[in-house]
C-alpha cells in the first residue's frame, strides 16, 4: 500500500469522520496485500462464460443518483438501472405523464433523492424475491420496486420526518416496513408539517418519528399504520429481530446528549449513546386499542395502477401517532458506545451487534439478557419516560481491538460476523459466540456497508461478501476529479477471506441486497399483455390510430410496431398547443421496446414496453416541420420508424 493519504479517508459520503486522522493502525491494516488473490484462481471464481447467467442478483443502492443498480454476482456485470426517486431520461421515467405522479410529494414533484438502503421482502425471515423496499433520504419517502418487472411500483411519503435514513427495514414476514427519521424536527399537530420555531427549542419541541408501514400480503401495497414520536433523539439505522426476537426492531440513536442548545449538536461528549429497542407487536396492539392519536398530516401516496400502468397519486390527510410515554413496555433504551451507526442482528436472533464509529470495541448485546433486564426492571434511569437498561445487564460481550471505525456487520452461515471498518479500510471477520477476531482483509478504500447474500436474514449464504467502498483513488484509470465508487467481491467460503474482484458502481452505493437468481428470474415478466392494457388512451389496433383536438389539447393516439409508427404524418398542430403522444407498443414479444422522441421536446423520450402505453407531452415553441422517431434500434427497418408533425403559427 503506497499512496493512501489522510484526505482519502475524510469527508466521505454520509459519514463525517473527517475529524479522525489516519493512524498507524491504518497502515498495518493495509499492508496485508497477500490477501488479494489476483491470480487465475480468483478469475475462475468470478468468470461467468458468455451466454451463461450469474448465480445472484445484487441490488445496489445508487445513493445520490436516486436509483437502484442491478448487478450479477459473481461477475459484477451491470444488468439494469432502476429509476426510483430520480427522473431517468433513458426510459422517460419521471418525464412521461404516467410516471410523473410517482414523484409527487407535499413539496411538489421532486425529481431526485438520495437512496441509501435496499431491503428485500421476506417470507418467514427469508427473502422471497417479490419486492425491494428502498428509502429516499432527503425528501422522506419509501418506495417499493416490483421484482417481476424491475420497475418502481409505489412511493409513499413519510410525514413528520426529515432525513429518512433509518429505513426501510422489513419484519420477518413483511408485517411492517419500518422507517425512522434522522433529524428530530418540531412536528406540528395540526397537519401543517414541520413547524417554524426558534432552533433553541430543541429540547421541548423536537421529536423524531419512527413509522410503521403495513404491507399488503398479496399486492405489496404500503400504508402507514402508525408512527411513534420520540422526543429528543436523532435516529440513524435500524434492523429487525429474527426468530425469537422477531417482534422487536432495534434503532441506533445519536446526539442524545443534546441539552437544548444547538451549540451542542454534533459534539459527541457523552460516553454512551443508545440503542432503542421497540416491541412492534406491542406497539401495534397499543395502536389497535386506541392509544394512537390521529393527527392531521399532509403527505402523498403514489402507486402504479396495474391495469392502466399509470401512477395514481393520493393526498393523505392524517396519520396515527403513539407516544412512548403512553405505552409502557413498548420501548427501551440500551446504552452503546457513542455515535453508533449500524445495528445488526445475527441469524439466530440472539446477538445484537452495534457499531460505534468512534468506539474501540464492538459491543454485542444479548436478546435473552435484554428480556431478563426488562423483567427485573434493571433500569439505570429514564429519558423522557423511556426506561434505560444497564449496559452490563444486556451485554453479551465485546469484540476487542476489531479495527477502526466499525460501521456495519453481516453474517455467514457458520456463526461468523463480518464488520466493515471505515477508518482502517478493512473487513474484519469474528466469531459471534467467542467474539474473537479470526481474520481481516484490506479493502480499497474506506468501506461503508458490506453485504453477504442473505447476511441480514435467518439464512445467510456463506460464499461471497461484497464490500462497498467510499473512495477509489488509484484503483481504476483516472477519469478526472471523480472516480466511480468501487465494489469489491470477497470469497468468504474458506477460513481466510480472499479478494476476487473490483468493479465500479453508479452513484454512491450504501447498502445492497442479493438473492439467488432463480428466486427472482422465474417470475420475471417478459412483456405486458395487450389484451389487458386498460390505459385510458391505449390504441390496441393500428386501425384506431388517430389525432383528436380538444381545445388547445391535441391527443395523438399512436401505435408502434416493427417497423412503423401510426399516424406518421400529423398536421393541424399550432405553436403553444399541448400535444400528448399516447404511444402504444403493439409488440407481444420479449425485449422489443420502442422508443419515441420529438425534436425540441422538453420531456426526454419515451421507452414503451411491449403491450404498454406511454404518453409524452410536448408544447411546441416554434412553427415548422418537426420530425419524430423511434430511438431504440428495434429491427432492420428501425430507421424507417419515423414521421413528421407540422406545426403552424397560432
Ligand atoms: S449508511 Cu452509508 S455507509 Cu446511509 Cu447505511 Cu452506513
Ligand atoms: Cu422501433 Cu426502432
- Measured from the CB, is residue 605 less than 6 Å from ligand 2? no
In the chain, count of helices (H) and strands (E)?
Answer: 7, 45
Is residue 636 pLDDT above 50, yes or no? yes
Is residue 85 pLDDT above 80, yes or no? yes
The pair phi, psi for residue 405, each rounded to 5°, is 75, 50
- Measured from the CB, is residue 606 less than 6 Å from ligand 2? no
Q: Which atom of ligand 1 is nearest to the CA of 341?
A: 6
pLDDT band at 254 (very low <50, low <70, confident <90, very high): confident
Nearest-CA residue for ligand 2 atom 1 is 594
Say if residues 164 and 110 touch (Cβ distance below 8 Å).
Answer: no
pLDDT band at 260 (very low <50, low <70, confident <90, very high): very low
Mean pLDDT over residues 536-556, rounded?
98
pLDDT band at 18 (very low <50, low <70, confident <90, very high): very low
pLDDT of residue 261: 40
- Measured from the CB, is residue 449 less than 6 Å from ligand 1? yes
Mean pLDDT over residues 548-562, rounded?
98
pLDDT of residue 382: 87
Q: Give the distance (Å) from ligand 1 centre to CA of residue 422.
A: 11
Higher pLDDT, 530 or 269: 530
- Lowest-confidence region among 29-38, 137-146, 271-280: 29-38
In whole angstroms, what is the distance from residue 565 CA to residue 546 CA?
11
Q: Which atom of ligand 1 is nearest to the CA of 407?
A: 6
CATH class of 530-648: mainly beta
- Lowest-confidence region among 254-258, 286-290, 292-296, 569-573: 254-258
Mean pLDDT over residues 2-31, rounded?
40
Residue 433's closest CA among 407, 406, 397?
Answer: 397
Is residue 228 pLDDT above 80, yes or no? yes
Contacts of 639 (CB under 8 A, 6+ apart): none
Q: Which atom of ligand 2 is nearest to the CA of 595?
A: 1
How far from 128 is each of 57, 169, 246, 297, 464, CA to CA, in Å? Answer: 13, 15, 17, 33, 19
For 160-205, the pLDDT digits (tens) are 999 999 999 999 999 999 999 999 999 988 878 899 999 888 888 8
Q: Name residue, grid cell 471523480.
A: 482
Is residue 267 pLDDT above 80, yes or no? no
Q: Give the distance (Å) from ligand 1 centre to CA of residue 83.
A: 20
For 434-479, the pLDDT digits (tens) are 999 999 999 999 999 999 999 999 999 999 999 999 999 999 999 9
Which of 14, 61, 179 for mutating ligand 1's site (highest number of atoms within 8 Å of CB)? 14
- Measured from the CB, is residue 309 less than 6 Å from ligand 1? no
* Cross-strand pairs, 351: 366
| Helix, coil or strand: residue 555 | strand
Percent of the chain surpassing pLDDT 70: 92
Take residue 512 and report the three cell numbers written for it.
Answer: 445492497
Nearest-CA residue for ligand 1 atom 1 is 510
Q: Give the distance (Å) from ligand 2 centre to CA of residue 550.
A: 29
Domain ranges, ordered by start, for the chain: 530-648
For 88-143, the pLDDT digits (tens) are 999 999 999 999 999 999 999 999 999 999 999 999 999 999 999 999 999 999 99
Ligand nearest to the CA of 633: 2
- Measured from the CB, is residue 632 less than 6 Å from ligand 2? yes
Is residue 2 pLDDT above 90, yes or no? no
- Measured from the CB, is residue 594 less than 6 Å from ligand 2? yes
Take residue 183 and report the three cell numbers written for it.
Answer: 433529524
- Measured from the CB, is residue 609 less than 6 Å from ligand 2? no
Mean pLDDT over residues 254-264, rounded?
53
pLDDT of residue 560: 98
Take residue 192 and report the three cell numbers written for it.
Answer: 401543517
What mean pLDDT, rounded, does the chain reach? 92
Computed from CA positions of residues 506, 507, 512, 515, in that sequence, does the dihedral angle turn out positive or negative? negative
In whole angstroms, what is the distance from residue 192 CA to residue 179 CA?
21
Rg of the chain over all Cα atoms, to the nearest angstrom: 26
Query: Could you say which DSSP state residue 576 is in?
Result: T
For 326-340, the pLDDT digits (tens) are 999 999 999 998 889
pLDDT of residue 262: 42
Residue 210's closest CA among 300, 278, 308, 292?
Answer: 278
pLDDT of residue 36: 53
Residue 158's closest CA among 193, 199, 189?
Answer: 193
Residue 13's closest CA among 615, 607, 287, 420?
Answer: 420
What number is the ipTM of this complex?
A: 0.96
pTM (2 decimals)? 0.93
Query: Could you say which DSSP state residue 328 is in?
Result: T
Is residue 592 pLDDT above 80, yes or no? yes
Amino acid at each position: 500500500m503506497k499512496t493512501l493519504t489522510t484526505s482519502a479517508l475524510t469527508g466521505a459520503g454520509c459519514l463525517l469522520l473527517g475529524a479522525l486522522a489516519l493512524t498507524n493502525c491504518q497502515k498495518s491494516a493495509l499492508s496485508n496485500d497477500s490477501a488479494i488473490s489476483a491470480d487465475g484462481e480468483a478469475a475462475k471464481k468470478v468468470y461467468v462464460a458468455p451466454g451463461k447467467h450469474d448465480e445472484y442478483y445484487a441490488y445496489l443502492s445508487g445513493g445520490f443518483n436516486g436509483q437502484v443498480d442491478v448487478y450479477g454476482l459473481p461477475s459484477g456485470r451491470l444488468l439494469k438501472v432502476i429509476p426510483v426517486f430520480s427522473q431517468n431520461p433513458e426510459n422517460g421515467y419521471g418525464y412521461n405523464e404516467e410516471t410523473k405522479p410517482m414523484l409527487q410529494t407535499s413539496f411538489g414533484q421532486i425529481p431526485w433523492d438520495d437512496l441509501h438502503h435496499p431491503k428485500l421482502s421476506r417470507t418467514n425471515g427469508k427473502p422471497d424475491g417479490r419486492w425491494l423496499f428502498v428509502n429516499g433520504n432527503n425528501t422522506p419517502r419509501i418506495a417499493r420496486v416490483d421484482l417481476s418487472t424491475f420497475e418502481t411500483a409505489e412511493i409513499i411519503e413519510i410525514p413528520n420526518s426529515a432525513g429518512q435514513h433509518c429505513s426501510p427495514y422489513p419484519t420477518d414476514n413483511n408485517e411492517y416496513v419500518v422507517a425512522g427519521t434522522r433529524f428530530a424536527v418540531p412536528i406540528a399537530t395540526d397537519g401543517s408539517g414541520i413547524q417554524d420555531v426558534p432552533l433553541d427549542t430543541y429540547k421541548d419541541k423536537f421529536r423524531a418519528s419512527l413509522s410503521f408501514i403495513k404491507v399488503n400480503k398479496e399486492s405489496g401495497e404500503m400504508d402507514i399504520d402508525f408512527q411513534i414520536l420520540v422526543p429528543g433523539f436523532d435516529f440513524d439505522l435500524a434492523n429487525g429481530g429474527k426468530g425469537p426476537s422477531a417482534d422487536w426492531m432495534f434503532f441506533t440513536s445519536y446526539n442524545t446528549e443534546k441539552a437544548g442548545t444547538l451549540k451542542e449538536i454534533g459534539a459527541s461528549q457523552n460516553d454512551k449513546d443508545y440503542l432503542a429497542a421497540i416491541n412492534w407487536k406491542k406497539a401495534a396492539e397499543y395502536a389497535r386499542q386506541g392509544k394512537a392519536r390521529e393527527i392531521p398530516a399532509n403527505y402523498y401516496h403514489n402507486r402504479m395502477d396495474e391495469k392502466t400502468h399509470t401512477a395514481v397519486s393520493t393526498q393523505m390527510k392524517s396519520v396515527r401517532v403513539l407516544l412512548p410515554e403512553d405505552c409502557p413496555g413498548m420501548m427501551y433504551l440500551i446504552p452503546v458506545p457513542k455515535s453508533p451507526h449500524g445495528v445488526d442482528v445475527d441469524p439466530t436472533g440472539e446477538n445484537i451487534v452495534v457499531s460505534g464509529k468512534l468506539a474501540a470495541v464492538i459491543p454485542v448485546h444479548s436478546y435473552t439478557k435484554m428480556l431478563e433486564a426488562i423483567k427485573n426492571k434493571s433500569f439505570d434511569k429514564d429519558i423522557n419516560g423511556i426506561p434505560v437498561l444497564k449496559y452490563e445487564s444486556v451485554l453479551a460481550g465485546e469484540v476487542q481491538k476489531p479495527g477502526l471505525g466499525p460501521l456495519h456487520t453481516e453474517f455467514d452461515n457458520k456463526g461468523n460476523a463480518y464488520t466493515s471498518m471505515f477508518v482502517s479500510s478493512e473487513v474484519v471477520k469474528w466469531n459471534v459466540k467467542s467474539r474473537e477476531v479470526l481474520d481481516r482483509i484490506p479493502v480499497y478504500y474506506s468501506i461503508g456497508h458490506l453485504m453477504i447474500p442473505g447476511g441480514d436474514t435467518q439464512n445467510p449464504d456463506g460464499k461471497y461478501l461484497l464490500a462497498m467502498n467510499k473512495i477509489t483513488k488509484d484503483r481504476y484509470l483516472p477519469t478526472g476529479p471523480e472516480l466511480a465508487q468501487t465494489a469489491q467481491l470477497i470469497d468468504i467460503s474458506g477460513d481466510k477471506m480472499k479478494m476476487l474482484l473490483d468493479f465500479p458502481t453508479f452513484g454512491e452505493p450504501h447498502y445492497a441486497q442479493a438473492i439467488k437468481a432463480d428466486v427472482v428470474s422465474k417470475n420475471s415478466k417478459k412483456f405486458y399483455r395487450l389484451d389487458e392494457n386498460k390505459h385510458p388512451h391505449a390504441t390496441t389496433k393500428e386501425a384506431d390510430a388517430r389525432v383528436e383536438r380538444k381545445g388547445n389539447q391535441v391527443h395523438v393516439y399512436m401505435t408502434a410496431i416493427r417497423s412503423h409508427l401510426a399516424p406518421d404524418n400529423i398536421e393541424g398542430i399550432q405553436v403553444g398547443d399541448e400535444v400528448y403522444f399516447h404511444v402504444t407498443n403493439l409488440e407481444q414479444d420479449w425485449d422489443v421496446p420502442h422508443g419515441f422522441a420529438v425534436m425540441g421536446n422538453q420531456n426526454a423520450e419515451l421507452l414503451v414496453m411491449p403491450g404498454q402505453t406511454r404518453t409524452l407531452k410536448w408544447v411546441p415553441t416554434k412553427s415548422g416541420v418537426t420530425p419524430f422517431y423511434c430511438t431504440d434500434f428495434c429491427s432492420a427497418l428501425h430507421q424507417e420508424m419515423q414521421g413528421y408533425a407540422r406545426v403552424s403559427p397560432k
